[in-house]
Structure 1
């Protein structure tokens, strides 16, 4: 993969392992991708495929018994490239980047917000740590941020506590905290899991506006293919710690060349096709991460399995911007071209 000059963050061959009771889960087993300025990369996959571990690795927020074993995470900042994987987890340099340059919106805003501090306090804390604004300016900036996130009566609500906010408003407050320092990269880990679809649409619209107006690079973790079709510029499909297919959204969704991507697309209803359409569930379960098959991780659930699948397929470039890990990708390419 060539390094464009618009790349905000690049990940190369990242391996993050989690250790428990003398067993090792290879949560990420050689993952590579890049996030581009002003673009959205969607990472899709089932629960447990390593999406959140990827985010935690980039933010250096991994649990204690896990570590980056190999690979590089490079942040291409205004002062030149910084190897994030080489920084101390809680060192001054990492803390300066975390929040200011690379911000994260967590999956559940109720657990990510501190219940004993007002929303305003939590936004101002971020501003106090990362900017040189005075006390009054921090207060008015907090109100402006809440207003720009579409929260009504921000002058009053800035002093309220998280439990007085609804789910959608808490998520907006989370985004306000994340966007308070105009980060260059925003990582959103399933930011609308607990919200209804109207609020979901509003939150995604908000993120899209931020991307357009601030040129923010966004990495959006989701398992919803509809969201991907709507928001992504690039897609990486993850399964059991590997990116099995990646490329521009048009190619991956229109001409998928990995059976897993196809299975994901077949498992969602298509609007306008009526109630007679066939929706296929993916058979079986994801394998036990502590006791994995030796070859292709998807083989046991795959309708196209052949004996070659007992070995791990290499990553193959099927076009200069589209890659896949599958032994039979050529057949799928031929049949996608028809």
Structure 2
């Protein structure tokens, strides 16, 4: 039996560094996770912790002054394993995978969409590159995708430019572009940023439908722990380039064993508890990525700090799927249970 039969993509000890002005930013510093078929992996954490860089590394959409220092990104395709980290960024093989096998919904649709081309033209671009459809079929397929995304009058809206779409419609158009070739893996980088709550719910419902109907493996980057609780099958909590805790959604949200995970959950108001509930802000701020503290990166903000935190803790396997990087994870877990 193939040990990867349920896994669409594996990331092992990934390190992506940026080099500027003789300085090095270790944006992703030893990250490991699996994206499973028909499942949603949510990656959560504060801005600047490396979530989007991880997504860009998988897609090989990194800027020039960056490189993958270490690690493996393995795409388990129907035709065998493909080491994405060893492919040329703009080589023919990577271009054939990007958009066709692995697609991405970008954070800001207004900057991701080209303002001088129609929505239909931009959806058709991926179809032209990855399929053998005719010109008339491109248009028909683009209209079908827009209709599937819940956009009314797709026959006329397909010829509109991005500026004539609302924020929610632009995001739906982005998802239509991403899903045009029925990818096996969908990476969504905060796909509902700046959208109102009603539209957010519709977008997430749409993504859940894609997962269930097509078996798409989804990697969702978000700040919203409510979204995680609703959509995630598995959760990875990132902080300063490391995954500090990971496991199933129940393990991480019901029994958090890292102080950062606990702090994230404590900073969210709970519906129904009223205005007098205690919502705790996380003290301090993320350290300078070019001047990092020694040892645990969260230590300066942590209530559980001890002398041992001056050394980076190893990853501890708590259960078959639950893992954490903390010297005092047992105590943190016991307090969370209380």
- Shorter-chain TM-score: which interval? over 0.9
Deviations 1:18-45 (A, max 9, x none): 0110000000110000000000000000
| Other-structure match for 1:187 | 187
Q: In structure 2, what is the Cα distance between the partners aligned to 1:39 and 1:50?
A: 22
Normalised to the residue count of structure 2, the TM-score between the two structures is 0.98
Deviations 1:164-196 (A, max 9, x none): 000000000000000000000000000011101
Are the structure 2 counterparts of residues 95 and 239 from structure 1 closer, same or farther at C-alpha, using a change threshold of 3 Å? same
Q: In structure 1, what is the Cα distance between the partners aligned to 2:52 and 2:152?
A: 31
| Other-structure match for 1:130 | 130
Contact 2:4–2:76 at 8 Å: present in 1 too?
no
Q: In structure 2, what is the Cα distance between the partners aligned to 1:3 and 1:177?
A: 32
| Other-structure match for 1:79 | 79
Unaligned stretches of 5+ in structure 2? Answer: none
**Range 198-207 or range 326-335, more displaced:** 326-335
Instruction: Give the count of matched residue pairs.
Output: 337
2:168 pairs with 1:149: no
Q: Give 1:4 shift.
A: 4.1
Q: In structure 1, what is the Cα distance between the partners aligned to 2:230 and 2:337?
A: 23
Aligned-residue RMSD, C-alpha: 1.0
| Other-structure match for 1:207 | 207
Unaligned stretches of 5+ in structure 1? Answer: none
2:231 pairs with 1:231: yes
| Other-structure match for 1:99 | 99
Normalised to the residue count of structure 1, the TM-score between the two structures is 0.98
Q: In structure 2, what is the Cα distance between the partners aligned to 1:116 and 1:337?
A: 55
Q: Give 1:330 shift.
A: 1.5
Deviations 1:1-58 (A, max 9, x none): x944210000000000001100000001100000000000000000000000000000
| Other-structure match for 2:262 | 262
Deviations 1:184-223 (A, max 9, x none): 0000000011101100000000000000000000000011
| Other-structure match for 1:22 | 22
Q: In structure 2, what is the Cα distance between the partners aligned to 1:231 and 1:87?
A: 32
Q: Give 1:335 shift.
A: 3.4
| Other-structure match for 1:162 | 162
Q: In structure 1, what is the Cα distance between the partners aligned to 2:293 and 2:215?
A: 42
| Other-structure match for 2:244 | 244
Q: In structure 2, what is the Cα distance between the partners aligned to 1:181 and 1:121?
A: 15
Q: Give 1:337 shift.
A: 4.5
Q: In structure 1, what is the Cα distance between the partners aligned to 2:180 and 2:52?
A: 23
| Other-structure match for 1:118 | 118
Q: In structure 1, what is the Cα distance between the partners aligned to 2:184 and 2:100?
A: 8
| Other-structure match for 1:88 | 88
| Other-structure match for 1:305 | 305
Partner SS state of residue 283, structure 1: coil
* Divergent runs of 4+, >6 A: none
| Other-structure match for 1:273 | 273
Contact 2:104–2:186 at 8 Å: present in 1 too?
yes
Q: In structure 2, what is the Cα distance between the partners aligned to 1:194 and 1:329?
A: 35
Deviations 1:56-115 (A, max 9, x none): 000000011000000000000110100000000000000000000000000000000000
2:222 pairs with 1:222: yes
Partner SS state of residue 38, structure 2: coil
| Other-structure match for 1:178 | 178
| Other-structure match for 2:291 | 291
| Other-structure match for 2:64 | 64
Contact 2:44–2:237 at 8 Å: present in 1 too?
yes
Q: Give 1:288 shift.
A: 0.2
